[in-house]
Amino acid sequence: MTLRDKVILLTGGTGSFGQEFTRIALREHGPKTIRVFSRGEFLQNEMQRCFNDDPRLRFFIGDVRDKDRLRQAMRGVDIVVHAAALKQVPSCEYNPVEAVKTNIEGAINIIDAATVNEVSKVIAISTDKAVHPANLYGATKQVAERVFIQGNSSSLTPHTRFSCTRYGNIIASRGSVIPLFLEQRQHGFITVTDERMTRFWITMEQGVRFVISCIDRMRGGEIFVPKLPSMKITDIANAVAPGATWKMIGVRPGERIHEILLTREEARHSREYDDYFVIAPETPFCGDIKLEGGRELPADFEYTSNGNHEWISQEQLAGLLEAAQGSSS
């Protein structure tokens, strides 16, 4: 198995993704050690108690902006999962330099520390916001993706490989619309931006399992994109807050009506598999990555939330929310 007996460094390890990754990895994949790398000692202490002081966990206080600390934390590491980022769109817009330092310079520091320590595999968590970005958060993640893919050509050792995963909105994650609707419905109304809006959706568990499967598949230079269902904002509103009054507020700054996970330009050098796509590096200096199996994509193909073939019903969303709440309790 990919993670068995491996030493893993998990940046942003106390976040929602990091905790779910740790839970699944420890329970199902038998890693030797997971090093949780994050800035906050309080959250690390809470996570340590949550996992009952599991001896396979190590907690490193540090920031991805700090190259020296990353180099120290990666000594003896086999796999790096890079989940640390500034993610809130309004916060990134108001603090653009800080977003660049964490999301772009942090990615550069990860690559540097991994190559110096000859880490075998490094995978970064990206987002649909990185595709044709409409806000600074998306722009920084787009650059981070490019930096990671390019890391395969600048690596000091051929044994260190870099890849990315890119997926959509996490159901009921912090800062998403579902927790907002749950809070607002107590007052009898919810705020809806635009009735046309659609989004890709994935549960946290699905996201973690997809990342783990990509660690196994990666050869270096790929961007892995899962096939995800879409949902209309109106169906989300009716499922989460039935009977509530809608207050239309318009599209917020940096927000899009629909999301896109794979562009027409990327489709020319991508392959389709049963439940995911793989985008191969387009430039030759990233290495000659020849995707095996799969199918070529049709001309002018693009993967968008409004043009999707799979949709979540209101009943399915209710079940997903119940499952998500059960796994977090």
Q: Which residues are catalytic?
A: 129
DSSP state of 284: G
> Are the beta carbons of 224 and 165 closer than 8 angstroms?
yes
End-to-end CA distance of the chain: 28
Beta bridge partners of residue 55, listed in sequence order: none
Provide the residue count of the chain.
329
**Are the CB atoms for 184 and 160 separated by under 8 Å?**
no
Q: How far is CA 232 from CA 89, 188, 322, 325, in A?
A: 21, 21, 19, 21
Tokens describing residue 59: 């907690």
Half-sphere exposure of 294 (CA within 13 A, CB side): 19
Q: Is-contact 169 11, C-beta < 8 A?
A: no
Q: What is the dihedral of CA 15, 28, 58, 86, to 10 degrees?
A: -20
- Identify whether the C-beta of residue 260 lies closer than 8 Å to the C-beta of residue 191: no
Q: What is the rounded CA–CA span in Å between residue 268 and residue 5?
A: 38
Residue where the block lists tokens 């499952």 = 323
Is 242 strand, coil or helix? coil
20: tokens are 């779910």
DSSP secondary structure code for residue 86 in this structure: -
**Among the listed residues 205, 202, 204, the one whose alpha carbon sits nearest the alpha carbon of residue 226:** 202
Q: Are 209 and 28 in contact (CB under 8 A)?
A: no
